[in-house]
């Protein structure tokens, strides 16, 4: 039998308090979510309220002469950024910026630059859902009650893109188990065919892309049954869809005996079709639900750029004076009843929480301003002119070293936040990129290399697109030491297809 014994052991551990964890979460929030978080706190904490300057110009937020001793959390020194950083350093860094998670290089243009809106969100009222729109077309099929039930279930399984993602056999099982409706699979297929042939938008209820495109072509052929190109296109999509999607055009031409001109017409016809027919109805309900709300504004003074934090919709906060007076009264008298003691504890907790939240919002503001100012100083040439070629290689550590903040803090600030400039709206991650030396030894941003790479691909002969190996050679000729696999990595990050799939006839 193993011997059991006890022993004492000392361990030194650092742990974050709940308040510090909440402070870190506040730091991660973009401006829209911060507004919602403040609103929630105002609703939940009666000791916290908005500071109405019009009605409280002569009121002091904190009366130092009051004989109220509110206990502060010893573990949270709100006036010391350094202390906060050392404590935060023990937390795992889940959201470190990864260069592979690249934001696309295009700018998010703001068409209303310079205009102020009351809210960054623009809501739309949608009177009819996509499924309701499809169900409204059922009357055109003249179905009986039984068939209409089946049709409604099929419609209910059509997704926002317009595709039916369940097999007829699965629908048959669903109807039996969920609604005790016994129906043959052939019946389901026949009703599905009616929906595909008659409903708008055309191509609805297809089970895959190939079927979706074929449905649209067949609808076109009803009006133009003798159109040669339409018939050839239907033949290719029916019998050679895989080769067509992989751009194996030579195999298709050889098997069908068609020339380049005919194939170009086929490609043109396919491009007119809608791969996501549901989007033809859904965009108003899904697009532009909200516009990007920048967290920072880039302004200029005598040609010199400077940063302002966008706080248009962020209310000023203060502690409710009635609650402070209530706590003061509790302190002045001896509390006898249990109810009074509980009330005193409740009021004190709410006031402490309100003071903490106000301080946390202020510390978030200081940290964001400090980080963004460091980014501005590092990339000042870009912010003066908006020239992407002026972007310097910059990683999280560069800004961490300048600010004295932890890398994880810089990552949290950069995540999901935007800056509005005269040249467009940019995500903060846009300004972070690795560096690469050219032949002269100058370190250039990988973003500049990606821009050159994109320009080379745009100018290539589309009938003979450049391979990654050839692209690497061209970049090396331009003075950039780069390997083929690095070219492939950058191309994929920019969403550019491989050479074979970029080929055009």
Top pLDDT among 331 and 68 is at 331
- The pLDDT of residue 96: 33
Which element (helix H / strand E) includes 474? helix 468-477
* Cβ-contact 403, 371 below 8 angstroms: yes
Q: Measured between alpha carbons, how far is 192 from 194 in angstroms, rounded to an integer? A: 5
Written as six digits, the tokens of 264 are: 């170009």
Q: What contacts 129, CB < 8 A, 6 or more positions away?
A: 285
From the number of C-beta atoms within 10 Å of its C-beta (0-12, 13-18, 19+), residue 14 rates as exposed
pLDDT value at position 92?
35
Q: pLDDT band at residue 81, thresholds of 50, 70 and 90?
A: very low
How confident is the model over 35-67, as pLDDT tens digits? 999 999 999 989 898 876 544 444 444 443 443
Structural domains of the chain, with CATH: 18-105+295-388+412-426 (no CATH), 130-280 (no CATH), 434-502 (1.10.10.60)
Q: What mean pLDDT do residues 459-481 have?
A: 89
Report whether pLDDT(127) > 80: no
Reading the block at residue 172, the tokens are: 């048959």
Q: Tell me if residue 423 falls in helix, strand or coil.
A: coil
pLDDT confidence of residue 372: 95
* pLDDT value of position 282: 54
Nearest to 273 by CA among 197, 218, 217, 207: 217
Contact between residue 237 and residue 213 where contact means Cβ atoms under 8 Å apart: yes
Residue 359: pLDDT over 60: yes
Res. 297 pLDDT band, cuts 50 70 90: very high
Q: DSSP secondary structure string, 103-135?
A: PPSS-B--TTTT---S-SB-----SS-HHHHHH
Tell me what pLDDT residue 5 has: 75
What are the Cα distances from residue 100, in Å, to 240, 432, 487? 35, 11, 13
Answer yes or no: is pLDDT of 219 > 70.
yes
Contact 411, 396 (CB under 8 A): yes
> 448 versus 110: which is more confidently predicted?
448
Distance, CA of 392 to CA of 97 (rounded, Å): 17
Residue 338 has pLDDT above 90, yes or no: no
Query: What's the pLDDT at 205?
Result: 94
């Amino acid at each position: 039998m193993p011997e059991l014994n006890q022993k004492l052991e000392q361990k030194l551990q650092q742990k974050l308090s709940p308040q510090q964890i909440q402070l870190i979460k506040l730091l991660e929030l973009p401006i829209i979510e911060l507004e919602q978080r403040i609103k929630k706190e105002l609703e939940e904490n009666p000791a916290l309220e908005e500071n109405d300057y019009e009605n409280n110009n002569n009121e002091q937020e904190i009366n130092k002469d009051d004989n109220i001793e509110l206990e502060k959390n010893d573990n949270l020194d709100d006036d010391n950024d350094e202390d906060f950083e050392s404590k935060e350093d023990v937390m795992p860094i889940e959201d470190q910026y990864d260069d592979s998670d690249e934001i696309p290089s295009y700018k998010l243009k703001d068409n209303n630059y310079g205009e102020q809106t009351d809210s960054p969100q623009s809501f739309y009222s949608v009177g009819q859902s996509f499924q309701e729109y499809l169900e409204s077309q059922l009357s055109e099929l003249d179905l009986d009650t039984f068939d209409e039930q089946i049709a409604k279930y099929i419609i209910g399984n059509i997704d926002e893109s317009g595709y039916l993602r369940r097999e007829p056999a699965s629908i048959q099982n669903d109807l039996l188990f969920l609604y005790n409706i016994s129906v043959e699979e052939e019946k389901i297929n026949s009703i599905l065919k009616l929906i595909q042939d008659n409903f708008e938008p055309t191509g609805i209820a297809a089970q895959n892309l190939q079927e979706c495109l074929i449905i649209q072509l067949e609808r076109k052929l009803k009006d133009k049954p003798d159109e040669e190109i339409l018939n050839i296109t239907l033949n290719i999509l029916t019998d050679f869809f895989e080769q067509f999607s992989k751009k194996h055009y030579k195999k298709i031409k050889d098997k069908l005996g068609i020339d380049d001109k005919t194939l170009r017409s086929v490609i043109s016809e396919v491009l007119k079709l809608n791969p996501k027919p549901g989007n033809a109805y859904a965009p108003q309900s899904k697009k532009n639900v909200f516009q990007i709300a920048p967290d920072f504004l880039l302004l200029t003074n005598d040609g010199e750029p400077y940063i302002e934090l966008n706080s248009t919709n962020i209310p000023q906060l203060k502690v409710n004076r009635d609650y402070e007076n209530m706590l003061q009264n509790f302190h002045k008298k001896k509390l006898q009843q249990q109810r009074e003691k509980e009330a005193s504890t409740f009021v004190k907790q709410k006031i402490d929480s309100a003071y903490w939240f106000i301080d946390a919002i202020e510390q978030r503001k200081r940290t964001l301003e400090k980080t963004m100012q460091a980014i501005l100083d590092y990339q000042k040439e870009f912010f003066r002119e908006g020239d992407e070629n002026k972007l310097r290689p910059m990683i999280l550590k560069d800004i961490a070293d300048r600010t004295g903040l932890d890398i994880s803090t810089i990552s949290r600030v950069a995540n999901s936040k935007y800056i509005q400039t005269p040249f467009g709206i940019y995500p903060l991650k846009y300004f972070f990129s690795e560096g690469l030396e050219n032949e002269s030894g100058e370190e250039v941003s990988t973003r500049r290399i990606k821009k050159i790479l994109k320009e080379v691909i745009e100018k290539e002969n589309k009938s003979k697109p450049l391979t990654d190996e050839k692209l690497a050679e061209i970049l090396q000729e331009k003075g950039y030491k780069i390997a083929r696999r690095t070219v492939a990595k950058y191309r994929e990050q920019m969403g550019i297809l491989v050479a074979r799939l970029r080929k055009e006839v």
